[in-house]
Amino acid sequence: MRVKTLKDVDLRGKRVFIRADLNVPQDETGRIVDDTRIRASIPTIEYCLQQGAEVMVTSHLGRPKEGACTPEDSLAPIAERLSELLGRPVPLIEHWVDGGFTVQPGEVVLLENVRCNVGEKKNDEELARKYAALCDVYVNDAFGTAHRAEASTVGIARFAPVACAGLLMAAEIEALSRALEHPKRPLVAIVGGAKVSTKLTILKSLAEKVDQLIVGGGIANTFLLATGKRIGKSLAEPELVVEAQAIMDMMAARGSEVPLPVDVVVADEVSAFARANRVPVDEVGPNDRILDVGPKTAARYCDIVAHAGTVVWNGPLGVFEYDQFAGGTKMLASAIAHSEAYSLAGGGDTIAAIKKFGVEKDIDYISTGGGAFLEFLEGKKLPAIAALEARYDG
């Protein structure tokens, strides 16, 4: 995979259009809950400024309706945080598609929510050409959106005079390729989170590649169901039991069993006040919800991680947002942190868990991508990366 990167390009005095992924979680009042993605975008912006470029940055935020944006869709809170982090003003430009604004060399502006533009999502060619006309250099630094073919991630890359990967994009490609192409064995994947349906393809593709596959969270419940366990009122997808069984068969055919929970933490509700009980997996009652793996199970998973050469992690093992159900995820996070294995993690909630347990520094690479991270691991060619590859000219 070859793409031009930012450092290969002369930026002095150039109009540089950076597509970043500044799509951060916000609370009801619009306050930024976690600014990881903004921070991750800073190095590219700073580099362009230092090189004396006229810098324009844009991103999507949430899922606005194209052509009908509301104040909640505005990047205003992002502009404010960017300005704090860069230590300089970051004016927000509305209605920017047809130009009509100026940027000085060594200055940066933020262009309002790119998904407000009609045609963005369906990668409209006319819109992409307009974006391209704004710049001399297009920089894609939005790894988190690389799996979507939109006008600002794919279309513009065709028409801009130069198209290259930003520093974050380049780092993501390099770290993920390393884990996939020549992984140190055994390669262990942990896939947790809420639902099998959202992760079925990744589960199947990992089942073809990895030496051990660990499932957790709501996903494990569907696997338990497939093996005939009673799971009470737990979150599960009975219609996917067949798929879960197929994944276990794939691993078994290669001599590896998918280790399922032997003990679990249950409660009758998902809340901060829920009373948690630890029970063997065969003693889950009809009104119980399985909300975490038990300590025996976690210890078994941690042992597998301790002997791994490479660990890929996406998805928490339980409802880690509440302390009663955080134990399994916490133990796993710590095992990954202490393991000698090259460790790679990604996913919005996975990153939140990693932060909650304070192990960011001990994980070799934390991807900013959720869906993009998963699709990359599936071995899919991400459209935004393919668009940059198509412009590679040595």
Active-site residue list: 37, 195, 348, 371
Tell me if 137 sits within 8 A of 19, measured CB to CB: no
Single-letter residue type at 254: R
217 binds Mg ion (CB under 5 A): no
Report the alpha-carbon distance of residue 310 to residue 298 in Å, rounded: 18
Report the alpha-carbon distance of residue 259 to residue 190 in Å, rounded: 11
Tell me if 219 sits within 8 A of 237, measured CB to CB: no
321 binds ligand ADP (CB under 6 A): yes
Q: Which of 136, 141, 288, 349 binds Mg ion (CB under 5 A)?
A: 349
Report the alpha-carbon distance of residue 86 to residue 90 in Å, rounded: 9
**Partner in contact with 319, chosen from Mg ion, ligand ADP, none, beta carbon below 5 to 8 Å by kind:** ligand ADP
* Span interacting with ligand ADP, options 25-33, 59-67, 279-287, 348-356, rule CB under 6 A: 348-356
Residues 305-344 that bind Mg ion (CB under 5 A): none
370 binds ligand ADP (CB under 6 A): yes
- Dump the DSSP string for 333-378: HHHHHH-SSEEEE--HHHHHHHHHTT-GGGSSEE-S-SHHHHHHHT
Q: Which of 164, 170, 291, 331 binds ligand ADP (CB under 6 A)?
A: 291
328 binds ligand ADP (CB under 6 A): no
Q: Which of 119, 166, 294, 315 binds ligand ADP (CB under 6 A)?
A: 315
206-245 CB burial, b ≥16 within 10 A, e <16: bbeebbbbbbbbbbbbbbbbbeebebbebbbbeebbebbe
- Dump the DSSP string for 97-127: TT------TT-EEEE--GGGSTTTTTT-HHH
349 binds ligand ADP (CB under 6 A): yes
Instruction: State the number of binding residues for Mg ion (CB under 5 A).
Output: 2
290 binds ligand ADP (CB under 6 A): yes
Residues in the chain, total: 394
CB of residue 354 to ligand ADP, shortest distance in Å: 9
Q: Which of 119, 166, 193, 294 binds ligand ADP (CB under 6 A)?
A: 193
218 binds ligand ADP (CB under 6 A): yes
* Span interacting with Mg ion, options 63-71, 119-127, 137-145, 349-357, rule CB under 5 A: 349-357
294 binds ligand ADP (CB under 6 A): no
**Partner in contact with 194, chosen from Mg ion, ligand ADP, none, beta carbon below 5 to 8 Å by kind:** ligand ADP
**Binding residues for Mg ion, per CB under 5 A?**
348-349
